[in-house]
Amino acid sequence: MTQIERHSYDVVVMGAGGAGLRAAIEARLMGKRVAIITKSLLGKAHTVMAEGGAAAAMGNVNSKDNWQVHFRDTMRGGKFLNHYRMAELHAKEAPDRIWELETYGALFDRTPDGKISQRNFGGHEYPRLAHVGDRTGLELIRTLQQKIVSLQQDDEREFGDGEKYIKVFAELAITEIFTEAGAVTGCMGYWRETGDFVAFDTAAVVLATGGIGKAYRVTSNSWEYTGDGHALAMRAGGTLVNMEFLQFHPTGMVWPPSVKGILVTESVRGDGGVLRNSEGKRFMFEYVPDVFRKQYADTEAEGDRWYSDPENNRRPPELLPRDEVARAINSEVKAGRGTPHGGVYLDVSTRLSPEQITKRLPSMYHQFKELADVDITKEPMEVGPTCHYVMGGVEVEPDTCASPYVKGLFAAGEVGGGMHGSNRLGGNSLSDLLVFGRRAGLGASEYVDSMGDKKTVIADADLESAVTDALAPLNRAGGENPYTIHSELQTVMGDLVGIIRKASEVEDALVKIGGLKTRAKNLTVEGDRIFNPGWHLALDLKNLLLISEAVAKAALIREESRGGHTRDDFPGMNPEWRQVNLICRADGDEVEVSKQALPTMPTELLSLFDVSELKKYMTEAELTALPEESN
C-alpha cells in the first residue's frame, strides 16, 4: 500500500477563508483539536477578493436600520426562495459578528462620531456595509488569521506547543471524505508540492471550500474554486440545494483579455458610479422590474438626489440586486449598445473627486491603472457580467450547519446552500461567512461531544481505493488531456448554461457534459506526483464535471426565471415554483434531481411584508391562508 501520512483531530475544517477560519476559532474555543486545511496558502483565500463590505444592520449611518429590515431585503433579493430561518439568523447575528471582529483587532473605516462606517450597496434599503475602503475581505482574513495566531500563542504558553489545538495544513488538497454507516470517519488528500498522500481520522468535517467558478471561463473566482466541497459532500451522501442559481456579478473587467472577469466592486456604484451604454444613456431606468418599482427612482434627477437626501428620494436603479443589473447589461450588449470590448461604461469620475476616489476605492484605482491603463478618476471603466457566486450549496440544518443526511458533515459560507435563495445581495457574503462559520464550528464541536469517547478511524480499504483512483491518471498512457477537457467544459457552461438559458441549449449542454465525463475516465497526465499541475487539474475535474451536471440538470427542470436563473423560454417568475427547492444527489457518477417543498415561513416573519408585496411572489392558495392581520 502507498505510504500515507496520518493525523487525528476532533474537527477538520476544509478551507481557510472567512467561514473556515471562524469555524476553526469556534471549535478551538470549545476545546477541540482542529485541523485547518487550505488548498492555497494561509491568507490567500478567495475571501480577500470581497471588496465592498460586510452587511450588518448596526444602524450606525441610519438609525432606522434593524435586523427586520435586513431580513426583508435579503428575502426580496433572493426572490423569496431563501431558507427563512437562515436569513433570520443571519440578519439577527451579523452585527454581533462584526463587533466581535473589532475585539479581534479589525480596523474598520469610521463615521465622524467614531462608529463603524457603513456604505450603500445594491438591494439594501439603508447604508449597511461595514467596510475598510474597498479591501474589506482582506481585513477580515487578516483579523481572523491573527486571532488564530493569538490562540496558538496562548497554547504555546500553556502547553509548550502552539499547534496542540490548532494546526494549519497549507497547500493540501482533499480528494475524498469517508463515511461508515452514514457518519464521517475522516478525509484524505495530497500535498500539492510533493504529491504525498495525507489522511485525517475525524468525526467532524466542516466544509468551507467556496464556490464553483472555474467551471466557467469568465469568472471573478480564483483557481481554487473547483467545486471541491460541493462534490465531496455529494459523494459522501449529502445533498445540494439551489444549484441552478448562479450569480453573474454585473461588473467584471472586460479588457484587456488577460484580466477579463476580474471583479469590479459594487462599491463603485454604492459610492455614486453610474452605468451608461455606448450612446451615453443611463439605461438602468429601463430595466426596473415591477417588484422593485416602488423602491427605485424613475428619473435621473431623483436618483441623483438620493445620495444626499435618501429620506425623500428613491435610490438609483444602478443599485438594484445584482441579477437585475447583470441581465440589463447583457441585454444592452446584445442590442448593439455595448462598448468596443463588449461591456458597458461604469463612471464614478463625474460624482466623486479624484481624492475621494483614491481614498474610498484605492484597489479599483490601482487595478484599472495597472491592468488596463485607465484612470478611473478621469474616465469610465468598461465592465460586463462575470461568474461570481453560486447560491446553491450543501443542504444543511440552519442552526447547526449540519447535513441532515451525513452525520458529522457541516458546511458554511458559499459552499452552504439555502441562505441566499435565488440571488445573493452584495455584502451578505462576508457576514454570512462569520455567522454560519461560527455556527458550523459550534455545531461540529457539539456533535463531537455527543459521541463521547468513541473514536473514528478510516477503513484501510477506503484509503486504498481512494489512492488508486487518485493515481490512475499518472499510471495511464494514451488518454485524454485534462486541460482540453477543462477548456471544453468551460465553453459548454459559458455558452449553454450561462446568464440566459433555454431548454434546447441546456439539453445540449447535458449531452456534452456526459461526453466529457466519459472522456475524463481516461485522463492521462505526464510526469510524477511532485508539484504536477496537470495531475491536480485531473483530480479537480472529477468535482467540476459532477457539479456542472448538477447545475445544468437543475437549470433544465426549473421552468421559470428567478434571481440567478434566467430562462429565455420561461421569462417570468412562477409562484408555484417559489414553493419548490431542487435537491441534487449523487447516484454513482450521475446526478439525480428531486423536488422538495420550501420550508414555510412563520407568521411573525411574514408580517414584516405588506400583502401587496407578497402577491408578487405567492400563489392564491398561499395568500388565502395568510392570517387576518396580514390581509
> What is the Cα–Cα distance from 537 to 364, expressed in whole angstroms?
31
Return the closest-CA partner of residue 499 out of 427, 545, 556, 568: 568
The H or E element that residue 205 is part of is strand 204-207
Question: Do 315 and 62 touch, CB atoms closer than 8 A?
Answer: no
> What is the Cα–Cα distance from 229 to 205, expressed in whole angstroms?
11
Q: Domain ranges in the chain?
A: 250-387, 472-579
Q: Which residues of 454-493 are buried (b: 16+ CB within 10 A; e: fewer)?
A: eebebeeebbeebbeebbbbbeeeebbbbeebbeebbebb
Query: Is residue 396 classed as helix, strand or coil in its secondary structure?
Result: coil
Catalytic residues, which ones?
249, 269
DSSP 411-433: E-GGGB-SSSTT-PPTTHHHHHH
> What is the Cα–Cα distance from 267 to 630, expressed in whole angstroms?
36
> What is the Cα–Cα distance from 133 to 507, expressed in whole angstroms?
44
Question: In this structure, how many other beta carbons lie within 10 angstroms of the beta carbon of residue 453?
Answer: 4
CA-to-CA dists, residue 89 to 74, 400, 404, 442, 583, angstroms? 12, 11, 18, 15, 22
User: What are the average pLDDT values for consecutive 10-residue runs of the chain, which has 631 residues?
Assistant: 92 98 98 97 85 94 97 96 98 98 96 95 93 92 97 97 98 98 98 98 98 94 95 98 95 88 88 94 94 91 92 93 90 93 93 91 91 93 93 98 98 98 95 98 98 93 96 96 97 94 97 98 96 97 98 98 95 96 95 97 94 92 78 46
CA-to-CA dists, residue 450 to 36, 140, 401, 453, angstroms? 22, 32, 16, 9
> What is the Cα–Cα distance from 293 to 111, expressed in whole angstroms?
31
- For 250-387, the fitting CATH number among 2.60.120.10, 1.10.3720.10, 3.90.700.10, 3.40.190.10 is 3.90.700.10
> What is the Cα–Cα distance from 8 to 28, expressed in whole angstroms?
15
User: Which runs of consecutive H residues, i.e. helices, occur in 451-479?
Assistant: 460-475
ω into residue 256 within 30 of 0, thus cis? Answer: yes
User: Which runs of consecutive H residues, i.e. helices, occur in 218-299?
Assistant: 228-235, 267-270
The cell 405588506 sits on which residue? 610
- For 472-579, the fitting CATH number among 3.40.1440.60, 2.160.20.10, 3.10.450.50, 1.20.58.100 is 1.20.58.100
> What is the Cα–Cα distance from 280 to 561, expressed in whole angstroms?
29
Strand partners, 584: 240, 593
Question: In this structure, how many other beta carbons lie within 10 angstroms of the beta carbon of residue 62?
Answer: 16
Query: Is residue 601 classed as helix, strand or coil in its secondary structure?
Result: coil
Question: Do 347 and 274 touch, CB atoms closer than 8 A?
Answer: yes
Which residues are CB-neighbours of 96 under 8 A, at least 6 positions away?
none
CA angle (111 as vertex; 106, 112 as ends), nearest 5:
130
- Per-residue pLDDT at 1: 65
Q: How are beta strands 34-38 and 166-170 bridged, if at all?
A: parallel
> What is the Cα–Cα distance from 284 to 317, expressed in whole angstroms?
6
> What is the Cα–Cα distance from 473 to 276, expressed in whole angstroms?
49
- Per-residue pLDDT at 266: 86
CA atoms within 13 A on the CB side of 150: 12
Amino acid at 381: M
Question: Do 243 and 551 touch, CB atoms closer than 8 A?
Answer: yes
CA-to-CA dists, residue 104 to 17, 28, 54, angstroms? 16, 15, 16
> What is the Cα–Cα distance from 589 to 623, expressed in whole angstroms?
42
Handedness of CA 382, 498, 77, 393 (dihedral sign): negative
Query: Is residue 447 classed as helix, strand or coil in its secondary structure?
Result: helix
CA angle (618 as vertex; 615, 624 as ends), nearest 5:
80
